[in-house]
Structure 1
């Protein structure tokens, strides 16, 4: 009965979304307050209905209701409770329901936190959100119904993909969807502004908090996915340029560009057309990611579906929303005339350069991701675009971005003084160069990636701290610190996020430059020297798990003059899906990780042992956390919370 009620709730949510997408839009056109007011209760009601449907599906997974097809195909009675819960969105149908739930959540949040928005703009924003809700609810009900019953339920299910039975993958998708779907708010604000024919500083202040929130969630989601890939796949890597990894990275890059572009609109009322275009493209790349994951055009552990018909439906959604928004953008180009002018050397120019680099970098990732598909369809050739291409094509843009970021952040608006900015950054520049030279001297080899990464990372971090310190004005250190304590939280958030970017740049370079790896067959009692440690395989034992069997390798790892630590990498086997997984053993320190993965047994009683020494791996997660923290600090800024002002807008009289 609960399952049927969940299904009916989705149908009712579709009807409510239709009302939400039509009535407020017509009301805004006619300046009818009553019709515009329909948007708010409709948005809240849609969220409650989709939330009830999602709760019904969660209950079905938690109770192992094998009368539902989606539960049979993605769960098992012996599966741990955490993964029964996470299995709700570990499949195409459930993840699509989660997408719709988060979409309706953002609409409801716009109702509760958008009390200072003009009535017409708010009605149009919620109407566009309703249209997106209609599209995805239709997609779900027509092609991917999570409440599809089986006439003859089996005794047990087929289990969830073992690679997804992991805490990292349990929480990675919700954060990623909060970012993906959150960009729909920027899209809705852009379309609403185009309909009204008004893009100004107030609009930029309204759209920035939503974009920051989506970017923060995307950052957390991508970091969780990277962390999972690092310890679960057993390859000692954190990023593999997988098409689905790229699908989340592209909207992150465009979202970062949108954040910086909206600042220019807010401060100087210029770059209006570019900012609107970025808002459209950011959500467009989210839809492209949805197509990659759900169309069956790629084969990946991240893929949720392999049905071409579903892919066609998503392409139709993409064409309608992206094509419609771009058409409206072209029609309204005259309404986005820039008011501010600026010199080539100015804060605006630095932000334009930032936008260009991020956008072109996104385009490079996009080309590398889709080119194999294009080559196969157009030329009947199977091509593989891998890590060497992305590293060679993507890295120069990140290097250029890191170089211009510190001086660009201290340039004045409208007309800046480059020599003054460089004087201010001189100590940071000297320290960065000295650090890079020191690393070059200490590394004991001719490789340049590590020293360059250290110098660039230090340049971005010290530049961000110098920028923040300069906001304290002149005077004694104590006086400047007191001023900084009263500085807007957005300034602290900006500095924290930039520091996080610098730390991440250094960690990525270090892990690529100084990684040490070893793959060999070891028998119990064998020892090896690795990365300054003596590693001894003391034995391999088999133990049962809740829904798998596992082999533990007991490794004694000792360093001269230090204690011996025991590390236990695992090799699990899930009998229901007849699939093995790797659980790496990682010993973390501030300067490096010791990483061991157990491979397959070999003839003669030996086992394959993969060993990695990952330099500064923890710094990668620290940098990601700092970037997300910077965004959260910015969201707590009073100017973001109040958006356009403290007074409620006057009611719009009816015609």
Structure 2
């Protein structure tokens, strides 16, 4: 079975090359068949690798390194992509699946054929790297009796689903890139191009949002430090394409509706995918030390860097050739929906550049001077936080603006109530958060986002009230859900970051300490055992008034890999989490352990808000799909855009 999977991967390589050649020649039918064949071959290959992991086939080197016979079956499955080679196979498969999806849903056109050709070419490069530098099908002879097991830190449900969603985002931007390259080759970038590209950009960005949020949830539950974002370089590697992708899904609106910003939209399409490849390089090249990174040899890192240069060189050469000749579109007043979306793009692009500098500057300085530098939270708090805070003031105003020229007076009057709520929330935050001004501003901005978005939603209901809810378009729902989610996230992030309190105790059995209004009684540590680990499991009784709960944090040890992990205990409530982690034994003390406890207020607002942002993106994507079907049946694109000018939202 493994040999069949290996051969199938070579067939996918050949079919991808044929798709690239046929696409360049403009042969639509042959290009479609090649993409579909390559996708089927890659899928079969991936399934054979899953078969090897589920069956504990220790004649396969990858299974030996990343699986174990006692590992739970779910993590055997996750082990398929919980490593460099397997995750690269998943990357190639998803890239081809996007191509196959385009074959199925896009109407026949020259743009589609050229885009599939570009997609096939990128799949060919990815598969060539996989087969000749990172093959997942290397055999061992003789085969060992058992394997080393998956990295224990990766044996978590959130991180099991994290790579597939992350790659759906990363690789999703590859097809937007392919459409951009095809548009440049054909010199046809305008409203029609944007109409075709917009759903792909929305889907990729929404999937990437989920992927990033799952990584944050994993960091919170699994690493034991109590936070959800550390400005780790690998975290930043996923944030950069997300920020550029957010700018793209807004700029593409202007290109679709008004024919403007075509050159800028194409540029963002290129940058989003180049940053995705940069993220893959940073994670896999070994240049970074991170709990998220696959530490690899420099040789494969150099190959990834060469791939990045080839793709970006091709893209920027095309852009330099065709970009200056793209139409500038219709003129508009700075105070207009176009002006608001340009402001949005400016802030998001500067934010992405800020993260890029903070991520790569230490690496550059180490290469030049040999000194190791650290750029962390203080840099991002001083640069990125104010920038995003100002950006988040704009959405409630921007969504109410009209195209070409707008009048701010009636919009601001309608938002007076939202402004009053924001000021009241800021005043409450000033009292509750001990006068921390940035926190006060953040809470006010979050409430402003929510109230302003709901104000626009109510206006769209018009005189029909609740009866009109079912008649609102998916575009309205997507915009409302995403912007409300953004407001909830901002409130949660600001309150959790500024309101978190934590403390470390040295406790012996029977001892009681007080923290955060809770009384903690340490009842000792017992030994436990799981399917592939041993555990020291503490029993801590937490009491606050009439409320009591037993918390059982663990220290786990995995014999196969020789690695320990921390499993935290969390008591959830509407206002936040009580978070307890078990530390190390105290030398010289019988039944003495260190205990780390924290109170994390409104932490679920962080994860729930991000979930709503992603949901809003997917709803908007569904709205675009439905709208395209409606447009093809009932009207032309220009008429549909005029209908949106009269009140259908921009997202």
- The two structures have a TM-score, normalised by structure 2, of 0.95
2:190 aligned residue (200, 210, 231): 200
What is the distance in 2 between the residues matched to 1:441 and 1:517? 20
- 2:241 matched to which residue of 1? 251
- 1:546 matched to which residue of 2? 531
- 2:571 matched to which residue of 1? 587
Report if the CA contact (8 A) 2:261-2:329 is conserved: no
1:472 aligned residue (446, 461, 472): 461
- 1:572 matched to which residue of 2? 556
1:446 aligned residue (435, 440, 445): 435
Report if the CA contact (8 A) 1:440-1:451 is conserved: yes
1:306 aligned residue (296, 299, 311): 296
What is the distance in 2 between the residues matched to 1:648 and 1:84? 50
Q: How many residues align?
A: 633
- 1:21 matched to which residue of 2? 20
1:56 aligned residue (42, 48, 51): 48
- 2:452 matched to which residue of 1? 463
Higher relative contact order (CA 8 A, sep 6+): 1
- 1:410 matched to which residue of 2? 400
- 1:419 matched to which residue of 2? 409
- 1:624 matched to which residue of 2? 610
1:100 to 2:92 alignment: yes
1:522 aligned residue (507, 510, 513): 507
Report if the CA contact (8 A) 1:250-1:362 is conserved: yes
1:624 CA displacement: 1.0
1:563 CA displacement: 3.0
- 1:489 matched to which residue of 2? 474
What is the distance in 2 between the residues matched to 1:641 and 1:418? 29
With 130-139 and 627-636 compared, the bigger mean Cα shift is at: 627-636
Structure 1: runs of 5 or more not aligned: 28-34, 650-655
**Shift in CA distance, 348/203, structure 1 to aligned 2, threshold 3 Å:** same
Report if the CA contact (8 A) 1:558-1:564 is conserved: yes
- 2:340 matched to which residue of 1? 350
What is the distance in 2 between the residues matched to 1:242 and 1:140? 27
What is the distance in 1 between the residues matched to 2:574 and 2:86? 39
- 1:296 matched to which residue of 2? 286
Cα deviations by residue, 1:96-143 (Å, 9 ceiling, x for unpaired) = 0010111111111001111x2x52111011101101100100000110
Cα deviations by residue, 1:203-241 (Å, 9 ceiling, x for unpaired) = 111111111111111111111110010011110000011
- 1:8 matched to which residue of 2? 7
Report if the CA contact (8 A) 2:586-2:594 is conserved: yes
1:214 aligned residue (179, 190, 204): 204
With 305-314 and 620-629 compared, the bigger mean Cα shift is at: 305-314
**Shift in CA distance, 643/385, structure 1 to aligned 2, threshold 3 Å:** farther
- 2:639 matched to which residue of 1? none
- 1:80 matched to which residue of 2? 72
Cα deviations by residue, 1:288-318 (Å, 9 ceiling, x for unpaired) = 0010011110122222241111111111111
1:576 CA displacement: 2.2
Cα deviations by residue, 1:237-262 (Å, 9 ceiling, x for unpaired) = 00011111111111111111000000
CA RMSD in angstroms comes to 1.5
1:168 CA displacement: 1.3
1:339 to 2:329 alignment: yes
Secondary structure (helix, strand or coil) at the match of 2:253 reads helix
- 1:31 matched to which residue of 2? none
Cα deviations by residue, 1:366-400 (Å, 9 ceiling, x for unpaired) = 11111111001112211111111122211011101
- The two structures have a TM-score, normalised by structure 1, of 0.95
What is the distance in 1 between the residues matched to 2:300 and 2:594? 41
With 637-646 and 531-540 compared, the bigger mean Cα shift is at: 637-646
Secondary structure (helix, strand or coil) at the match of 2:570 reads strand
Cα deviations by residue, 1:464-508 (Å, 9 ceiling, x for unpaired) = 1112222233x3xxx133334312111110111001011001111
- 1:610 matched to which residue of 2? 596
1:448 CA displacement: 2.0
1:157 CA displacement: 0.9
Secondary structure (helix, strand or coil) at the match of 2:226 reads coil
